[in-house]
């Protein structure tokens, strides 16, 4: 019975670690990866940490703290356009 509990505890711990890592903000992943890369880890464990250290592509995504404005390739600020939609027509109810 003790071996079964040990296996279950290891699986639950691995799943919780994976979920926390996946849902964690990129800045948090980078900080943890930076600390863990100072340890002598096997290459298989270093690969995901090195991937987490790379910055995100495009405009920054989740990594952005919002201190930079969104710019177009020409260098101007990109406007936001809101398009109104007509309300859906309701069917007439017969009484």
Q: Give the residue among 78, 72, 26 at the shortest CA–CA distance from 53.
A: 26
Residue 76 lies in a domain: no
Six token digits for residue 69: 């404005």
Domains held by the chain: number = 1
Task: Tell me what pLDDT residue 88 has.
Answer: 78
Residues 54-65: tens digit of each pLDDT: 776 555 545 555
Residue 78 lies in a domain: no
Residue 33 lies in a domain: yes
Please provide the average confidence, as pLDDT, over all residues in the chain.
Answer: 79
Query: What are the residues whose beta carbons fall under 8 Å from the beta carbon of 7, sequence distance 6 or more?
Result: none
Residues 39-49: tens digit of each pLDDT: 888 888 888 88
Matching residue, tokens 């995504």: 61
Residue 38 lies in a domain: yes
Arithmetic mean of pLDDT, 66-74: 55
Identify the domain containing residue 41 by its residue range: 25-54
Residue 62 lies in a domain: no
Residue 90 lies in a domain: no
pTM for this structure?
Answer: 0.50
Residue 70 lies in a domain: no
Residue 35 lies in a domain: yes
């Amino acid at each position: 019975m003790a071996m079964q509990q040990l296996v279950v505890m290891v699986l639950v711990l691995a799943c919780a670690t994976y979920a926390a890592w996946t849902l964690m903000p990129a800045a948090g992943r980078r900080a943890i990866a930076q600390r863990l890369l100072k340890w002598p880890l096997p290459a298989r464990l270093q690969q995901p940490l090195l991937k987490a250290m790379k910055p995100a592509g495009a405009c920054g995504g989740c990594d952005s703290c919002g201190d930079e404005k969104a710019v177009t390739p020409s260098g101007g600020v990109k406007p936001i356009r809101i398009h109104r939609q007509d309300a859906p027509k309701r069917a007439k109810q017969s009484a």
